[in-house]
Each structure stands twice: as C-alpha cells, then as structure tokens.
C-alpha cells in the first residue's frame, strides 16, 4: 500500500534521506522512531505528497510521486488521514464543526454530514462534547477530535506525527489505545514517536531512521 | 470540484466577519466611488440628450444669388439634394422670409428701407449621420460651390462648442470609470489578502483533509461578489436619492435614472468578482 524506493530528499544543504526504502502493507501498525530532526515529520510529508523526493519515488495506494498531477493530490489526501502533535484544530468552531469541516471541504452532500460526523465522534468517544469549543477541551480530547477528523473520510491509512507528544502519560495511553482500536478495524496506522516505551506496551512494527535511511 | 452553496455562503460570511474592518472599508469605498460614477453617468446621459437636441437643429441657410434667373431655383434644389447627407431642402421665398422676419421681430422693414431686403433661400437639413460639425462643414463647402448660391449661413462655432462639451463629459466619465475600476480591484484584492492571512490556518487544514483549490476559493469569490454588490447597491440608493432630491429641488426632468439603479449592483458584483480572482491568484497558490 505504501512504497518508498530509493528516496533522496534534502532540506537546503542538509540531507534527510539518502536512498531510503520502505514498505507498508494494508492494515499494518508501524512505528517510526528516531531522534528529533532525524526526518520523521519529513517522512510523513512525503507520504502525504506535501513535498516530493529529489530522487526515487513514493507510492501511496495507486498514487506515485513521480506521476501524480497536482490536481489529483487532494483526492489522495482524502484517503490518507493525518494527525499532528499540535492537533491543528480550528479554535473558533466547536468539536462537531471541526470534524464536519473535513466533509464539507471534500464535497460530501450536506444530508450525510451529520450522520458521518457523529459516527466518527462516537468512534473516538467524544460525541458527548460535540458542542464544546476547542479551547474548552483537554489535550487528549483535542487529539481525539483530530483523530475523528482524520477518520471521517474513511482513510486507508492514518499518518500520525507524534500524536502523543503534547500529552501526559494517561492521555497518551488513551490515544494509543484508540489508535490500536482503529488499526484493529482495518485502517493502517503509521505513527512517528520518540517515546519508544509505547512500542513495547502497544506492539507494532518498528522502523528507525538511521543514517538517512529507514531500518527495521 | 463540487459546488456546495450553503457551505460557500456560510464560510463566506464567516470570512467577512473575521476581516470586518477591511470589508467595511471596502464596501464603503466601493459605494462612494460608484456613487460618483453614477451621478456623472446620469449627468452624461442628460448632457448628451441636450447635445443631441442641438445637433437635430443643425441646418444651413443657402441664400440664392439675387441675380440668378427665376428658373434656376428648381435646378439649385436638385443640386443641393444630390449632395450626400442632405435630408431635405425647403425653399423660403423672399415673401416667406419677410413674413418670418415680421413674426420674429414684430417689425416691418419695408417702410424703413423701401423694399424687401431679404433674399430667397433654401433651409437645408442634414441626415442624422451628418449632424456633426466636421461632416456638416464638408457639406457646407460643397454647397457653397454650387451655381446660383450667393452665401451659406451656418452656426458652426456654436455647434462645435456644444460637441466639445459633450466630448469632455465623456472623457471625464471614462477617467472616473477607470479610477473606480482600479480602486475597487485594489480594495477587494487587499481585503482578500487580509482575509486569507486571517484564515491561513483553516486553509492549511482544508488542504490537509483533501479540499481542492477550487473548493477552497469559492467562499472567497462569494465574499468579493458580495462586497462589490453591496457597495453597488448602497451607491444605487445614495445616487437615486440624490438625483431625486436634485430633480425635485431644481424642478428638472432627468433621464436615465432607472438604468442606474440595478446597474451599480451588477457592476459592483462584477468588480468584486474580478478583484477576488486577482487577489486569489496572487495570494493563494495551488
């Protein structure tokens, strides 16, 4: 489902990837670990086709970085959910509107939006706070809203960039349990983290960024 | 790209609320500039009406040589009508000219001079296409050369002056229109920049969840059209009220007012649309 072949990527004079290869099958749960600045977020941006490799190719589902047209990228992103450490929620809208926003933005008919939004909020167990404004929520709750927004379009894969980075241990474990449950229902999850203890508590394939390559 | 009207309207109004100061300035300025343009266009329509009225009155008096034989009158009429641009040539005999003189001045010159001093003439009217000073003067030269013509009288200077005033009004109109168009495009473009700056986070999130650029742009286009049309509507109300007040105060019968009521709404909307398109292409790339 995800293939990176001989990927080279530089940021200015600094090489991030030099001939990196990586494969991920449907339904897998993969941790990408490595120190800060090693290229974990860059990897997710490459998979989200936000940036493109200088050499090599990234393929997500049927979309290849070498051949995809700019106008087709939004359609790929609808099937690749993204979750961030800083949640990236709209603070002037309530929980329901933040999730529904992803459906409005992708042109889902208004008649379906309420049902799909409530389903996603129920899935992450935050539907009881659907009318709360974002600043009223704890960090863990905000991350669950962010996950609901990523899930609402039923993606093949969920890309999570340090989703527990801003959370206390209890909230972080709560988010991890949620990601594992989503994965058990068939959605592949690729998560970057620098907290390797999760890899033991919540098992999954572990990939390390080392010397500008991805190693098992 | 899907077209979700409720979403576009809701997001459009939310965007205007977020950048309300810039939106208020834009709408007010569009209203003021379009009001100026409206008033000047109404003035133009009415000045043009007066000019056209004068142009319709353009005629020559072709005085017949007193020494010409009596049978040359019909030949001269044929020669005059053969000149391109002549609508009709009415013969005014010496007696008819005297009657007109008496009616106009209320005095009979014969007791004073002992004879009728007025020559026979043709009053020549031009076809509408030739009722401009330049074309009239070319005809004047041709008629002046015809046999049995003594003199041709034509109030050219006066008509030329009227024509020049009319042309000046049109140039001022054109200049004003250019200023209004540029000002509106600049304002809407600037408001768009501020709105996009205020909403950069939601735009980033929309891109993350897979919204197309066209879909993201729709609410902003709506904002531009709405600001332009609102400014245009306000200008229509202001200019309509001002014109009615002026017409009532000075007891004038002005023309062209109904056309300037809905016109500014459409013009404002179009300018708003183009301003937002320019703003989006400059400040929101694919």
Quick: pLDDT tens for A10-51. 988 888 899 989 999 999 999 998 888 888 889 999 999 999
Residue B276 shares a structural domain with residue B167: yes
Q: Which residues of B touch A74 (CB under 8 A)?
A: 207, 210-213
- Say what the pLDDT of residue A3 is: 92
Question: End of a domain among B121, B153, B185?
Answer: B153
Token representation of residue B14: 């939310």
Which CATH number fits the domain that encloses residue B63?
3.30.70.3040
Say yes or no to pLDDT of B70 above 90.
no
What token pair was written down for B155? 């109030």
Q: Which chain A residues have a beta carbon less than 8 Å from that of B285?
A: none
Q: Are residues B128 and B248 in the same domain?
A: no
Same-domain status, B27 and B149? no
Give the up-direction half-sphere exposure of residue A115: CA atoms within 13 A in the CB hemisphere: 5
Contact B4 A110 (CB under 8 A): yes
Examine the domain organization and report whether B167 and B278 are in the same domain.
Answer: yes
pLDDT greater than 60 at residue B258: no
Q: What is the pLDDT of residue B156?
A: 73
Q: What pLDDT is stored for residue B15 in this prediction?
A: 81
Contact B19, B198 (CB under 8 A): yes
**Residues near A37 by Cβ (< 8 Å), separated by ≥ 6?**
none
Q: Do A107 and B215 touch (CB under 8 A)?
A: yes
**Mean pLDDT in residue range B148-160:** 81
Residues B80 and B128 in one domain: yes
B69 in the same domain as B138: yes
CA-based nearest residue to B170, from B255, B31, B43: B43
Locate the chain B residue with the closest alpha carbon to A154.
B209
pLDDT at B286: 63
pLDDT reported for residue A6: 92
Residue with tokens 């393929």: A59
Nearest to B215 among A70, A77, A105 (CB): A105
pLDDT at A29: 93
Same domain (yes/no): B45, B67: no
One domain for residues B166 and B147: no
**pLDDT for the residue B202:** 80
| Residue B47, pLDDT above cutoff 80 | no
pLDDT digit string (tens) for A168-185? Answer: 888 888 888 888 988 998
Q: What residues of B are in contact with residue A106 (Cβ under 8 Å)?
A: 209-211
Residues of chain A where predicted confidence (pLDDT) is lower than 70: none
Same structural domain, B37 and B170? yes
Closest partner CB to A104 (pick from B7, B213, B286): B7
* % of chain B exceeding 70 in pLDDT: 95
Which residue range(s) make up the domain with B257? 5-53+162-283
Q: Among residues B94, B118, B153, which one ends one of the domains?
A: B153
In terms of domains, do B169 and B209 share one?
yes
Say whether both B46 and B65 belong to one domain.
no
Averaged pLDDT for residues B199-221: 85
Q: Is A111 on the interface with B (CB under 8 A)?
A: no
Last residue of a domain, one of B126, B153, B180: B153
User: What's the total number of domains in chain B?
Assistant: 2
Q: Specify whether B182 is located in the same domain as B279.
A: yes
What's chain B's average pLDDT?
83
Say yes or no for a CB contact (<8 Å) between A110 and B7: yes
Report how far residue A164's alpha carbon sits from residue A30's, in angstroms, rounded to the nearest whole number. Answer: 15
């Amino acid at each position: 489902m995800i293939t990176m072949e001989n990927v080279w990527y530089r940021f200015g004079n600094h090489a991030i990837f030099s001939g990196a290869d990586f494969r991920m099958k449907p339904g897998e749960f993969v941790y990408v670990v490595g120190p800060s600045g090693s290229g974990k977020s860059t990897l997710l941006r490459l998979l989200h086709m936000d940036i493109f490799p200088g050499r090599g190719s990234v393929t997500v589902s049927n979309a290849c970085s070498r051949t995809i047209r700019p106008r087709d990228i939004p359609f790929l992103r609808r099937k690749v959910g993204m979750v961030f450490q800083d949640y990236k929620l709209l603070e002037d809208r309530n929980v329901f509107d933040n999730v529904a926003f992803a459906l409005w933005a992708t042109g889902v008919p208004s008649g379906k939006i309420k049902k799909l939004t409530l389903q996603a909020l129920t899935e992450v167990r935050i539907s009881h706070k659907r009318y709360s404004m974002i600043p009223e929520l704890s960090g863990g709750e905000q991350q669950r809203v962010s996950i609901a927004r990523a899930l609402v379009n039923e993606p093949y894969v969920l890309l999570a960039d340090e989703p527990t980075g801003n959370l206390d241990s209890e909230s972080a474990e709560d988010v991890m349990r949620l990601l594992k449950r989503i994965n058990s229902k068939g959605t592949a999850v690729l998560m970057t983290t620098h907290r390797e203890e999760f890899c033991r508590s919540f098992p999954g394939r572990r990939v390390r960024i080392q010397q500008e390559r991805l190693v098992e | 790209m899907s077209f979700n009207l409720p979403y576009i309207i809701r997001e459009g109004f939310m965007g205007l609320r977020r950048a309300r100061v810039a939106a208020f300035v834009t709408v007010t300025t569009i209203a003021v500039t379009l009001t100026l343009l409206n008033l000047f266009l109404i003035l133009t329509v009415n000045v043009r009406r007066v000019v056209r009225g004068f142009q319709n009155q353009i005629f020559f008096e072709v005085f017949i040589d007193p020494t010409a034989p009596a049978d040359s009158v019909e030949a001269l009429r044929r020669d005059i009508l053969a000149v391109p641009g002549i609508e009709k040539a009415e013969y005014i005999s010496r007696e008819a000219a005297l009657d007109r003189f008496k009616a106009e001045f209320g005095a009979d010159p014969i007791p004073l001079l002992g004879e009728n001093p007025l020559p026979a003439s043709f009053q020549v009217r031009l076809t509408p296409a030739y009722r401009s000073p330049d074309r009239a003067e070319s005809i004047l030269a041709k008629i002046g050369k015809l046999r049995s013509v003594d003199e041709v009288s034509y109030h050219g200077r006066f008509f030329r002056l009227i024509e020049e005033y009319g042309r000046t009004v049109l140039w001022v109109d054109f200049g004003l229109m250019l200023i209004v168009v540029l000002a509106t495009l600049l304002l809407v473009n600037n408001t768009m920049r501020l709105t996009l700056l205020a909403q950069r986070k939601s735009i980033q999130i929309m891109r993350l969840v897979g919204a197309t650029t066209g879909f993201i742009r729709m609410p902003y286009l709506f904002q531009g059209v709405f600001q332009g049309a609102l400014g245009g509507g306000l200008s229509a109300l202001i200019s309509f009220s001002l014109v009615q007040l002026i017409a009532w105060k000075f007891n004038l019968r002005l023309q062209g007012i109904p056309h300037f009521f809905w016109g500014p709404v459409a013009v404002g909307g179009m300018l708003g649309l183009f301003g937002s398109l320019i703003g989006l292409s400059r400040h929101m790339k694919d």
